[in-house]
Structure 1
């Protein structure tokens, strides 16, 4: 009988401590989520220059002066910042590389596209 009481007491203590640590973790997570401190983005803004070779609704293809072809995403960006170019235009692209999944190739995300030369589309 004595062993049974000790076992029950031990089970109750473990149960309360388990609930308490989960509660503490949840409280810490909620405090971090509600915190007004905004962390600076770790992504570095980079610049590319090239000619727009192709475009679709949420990305475009840029051909650099070295002949490299780069696909650039415009997903979730304001059209006024990334949509004022046409095929054949020479553009400067301010972008960030966002890591989607480790080990996969990253598609640059355009932050701003500036037309620096109009292309001759009708040759």
Structure 2
């Protein structure tokens, strides 16, 4: 009977230590996976004319004639404001994926006005 108790305690101890090791490995593995999935953010610059603008994004027509929709979500207002429709701007941005494998959206980090739109005389 005494050997049976020792045997049961030994099995319980092994079981608890095995569970503890696995949970530590899972957390460590999840941390490694989240680091490898995170994309590197390379800042880029593009120049164009502001088309339509709203609170959290604006349309930019590039010098090549391409149309981009640029997000200003979660940016400091002083860094991404001060322009209006028709202004020529230089946009420092990063590209972010909405979901892995989907198209990227340029997110403005800084918008610098390099030319104001010409006011027409009435």
Partner residue of 1:72? 70
What count of residue pairs does the alignment treat as equivalent?
112
Q: Does 1:10 align with 2:11?
A: yes
| Structure 1 unpaired stretches of 5+ | 33-40
Provide the aligned C-alpha RMSD in A.
3.0
Matches within 5 A, 1:1-123: 5=5, 6=7, 9-22=10-23, 42-120=40-118, 122=120
- CA separation in 1, counterparts of 2:97 and 2:44? 15
After superposition, what is the alpha-carbon deviation per residue over 1:39-88, rounded to whole angstroms, capped at 9, x for unaligned?
A: xx821110010000010000000001211000000011111110110100
SS in 2 for 1:87: coil
Q: Secondary structure at the match of 1:15?
A: helix
Q: TM-score, normalised by structure 1?
A: 0.75
| Cα separation, 2, equivalents of 1:121 and 1:55 | 18
Contact 1:88–1:121 under 8 Å retained in 2: no
Q: CA deviation at 1:121?
A: 5.4
Instruction: Classify the secondary structure of the residue corresponding to 2:109.
Output: strand
Unaligned stretches of 5+ in structure 2? 32-38
* SS of aligned partner of 2:41: coil
Query: Any runs of at least 4 consecutive aligned residues in structure 1 with deviations exceeding 2 A, and if so which?
Result: 1-9, 19-26, 120-123
Change (3 A) 1:104 1:92: same
Q: TM-score, normalised by structure 2?
A: 0.75
